Amino acid sequence: MRNIFILVRKEFLQIFRNRQLLPFMTVLPVIQVILLTFAANYEIKNLRLGIWDLDQSTSAQQLIHKFTGAKFFQEKALISNQKKADELLMKDEVDLVLVIPKDFEKAIHSSNNPAIQFQINALNNAKAGIVQNYASAITQDFLNEKRGNSTLLASPKIIPITNYWYNPTLNYKTIMLPGIVAEVMTLIIILICALNVVREREIGTIEQLNVTPLKKHEFILGKLIPFWVIGHFIFWAGIALGKIFFNIPMVGSLGLLELFLAIFLFVPLGIGLFISTAVETQQQALFTSFFFIILFILMCGLFTPVETMPDWAQYINQLNPLKYFVEVNRLILLKGSGLKEIYPFIAKMIIYGIGINLLAIWRFKKTN
């Protein structure tokens, strides 16, 4: 016990003295959390609209007003032929060409369904999807207003009313922030743990400790405990930031979140330790860590839903610790899930944590 205390004390002395590492652990996460939360936003405004009006009717004008009146679209060009439309799309000068055909007005007043065409710039397919959604919604809206009660009465139809549970206003910051905090913390913990152990080996102090009566498990605990504490600091600072600046909801129990965090942290720590045993230099540790971190971040469900990945990818993703954390974050903070729902995640993290740490300790004993 005393040895571990001595090691932890030494580690903190070094950490607080490290002019490069300290900002990396304090200022950078704050900047990342704020920046990413604002930046990772699926709302798109100021889409550029090209208008090709073949009807030149009052209804056509009203439709165009409906588009430009909404905050999403801005009139960029008036188009009179397909060549021009193609050109603007090719040059990436418009996002959408709205084509209103001849007899559009007539079709509205008859029982025919009026046809209009969207030519969408799909250079960025995610954006193109959003453009289509907006444009369809606006058009539908317009038709409903236009035909008014008469057609509605004549042909009753089902109108779905959507209710978004747990995040009623679809606030992206609410969804993104806790995930980003978890992601930034995990990244930092894997990196500093791997780099720190490799650094001790590079400067030769591990060799020096090996000839002392210090036991291997004491050395490892002396490394893990300080970073375990730092992980807590980064996470809760990030969540506090989210509460203060973005007023993220905290429906569930923070104690439960802490319980999960306390167990979860052993996973990135174990991964960091494992990486340190597999590489020779700090540079190699950095690149190996990045390989895993990038996979973890891109597949954690924050940027693309895990559910849309192919089966084999979801299978691999079972090893992605961030996936669990992002999910637990949402379950506790947004949905207010209790221990009963979180328990399977905790159990998985215990197994994962024990597994990866045993592997790391086994490798560590072989290499040092």
Partner 1 sequence: MEPVVKVENLSKKFGEFIATNAISFEVNKGEIFGFLGANGAGKTTAMRMLSGLLTPSSGQAFVAGFDVATQAELVKKNIGYMSQKFSLYEDLTIQENIEFYGGIYGLSRQEIKDRSKGIVDKFQLASVKNKLVKTIPLGWKQKLAFALALIHKPKVVFLDEPTGGVDPITRRQFWDLIYEAANDGVTIFITTHYMDEAEYCDRVSIMVDGLIKALGTPSELKKSFDVDSMDAVFQLLARGTANK
Rounded to the nearest whole angstrom, what is the least distance from the CB of residue 209 to partner 1 in the complex?
7
Rounded to the nearest whole angstrom, what is the least distance from the CB of residue 265 to partner 1 in the complex?
25
* Closest to partner 1 by CB, 152 or 203: 203
Residue 113 touching partner 1 (CB under 8 A) = no
- The CA–CA distances, whole Å, from 84 to 54, 80, 91, 125, 347 equal 14, 7, 11, 22, 60
Cross-sheet strand order for the sheet of 47-53: 73-78, 47-53, 96-100, 117-120
From candidates 117, 140, 208, 367, binder to partner 1 by CB under 8 A: 208
Residue 1 touching partner 1 (CB under 8 A) = no
Interface with partner 1 by CB under 8 A: which range of 12-20, 63-71, 102-110, 301-309? Answer: 12-20
For residue 294, give every residue at least 6 positions away whose Cβ sits within 8 Å of its Cβ, in sequence order, or none.
none
From candidates 210, 281, 283, 304, binder to partner 1 by CB under 8 A: 210
Distance CA 22, CA 366 (A): 31
**Residue type at 367?**
T
Residues 357 and 281 sit within 8 Å (Cβ to Cβ) = no
Residue 10 touching partner 1 (CB under 8 A) = yes
Interface with partner 1 by CB under 8 A: which range of 49-57, 135-143, 206-214, 223-231? Answer: 206-214
* Closest to partner 1 by CB, 204 or 310: 204
Rounded to the nearest whole angstrom, what is the least distance from the CB of residue 193 to partner 1 in the complex?
18
For the residues of 288-336, what is the DSSP string, one character each? HHHHHHHHHHHTSSSSS-GGGS-HHHHHHGGG-HHHHHHHHHHIIIII-
* Closest to partner 1 by CB, 309 or 361: 361
Interface with partner 1 by CB under 8 A: which range of 2-10, 82-90, 176-184, 299-307? Answer: 2-10
Residues 190 and 266 sit within 8 Å (Cβ to Cβ) = no
Q: Which residues are at the interface with partner 1 (CB under 8 A)?
A: 2-3, 6, 10, 13-14, 17-18, 203-205, 207-214
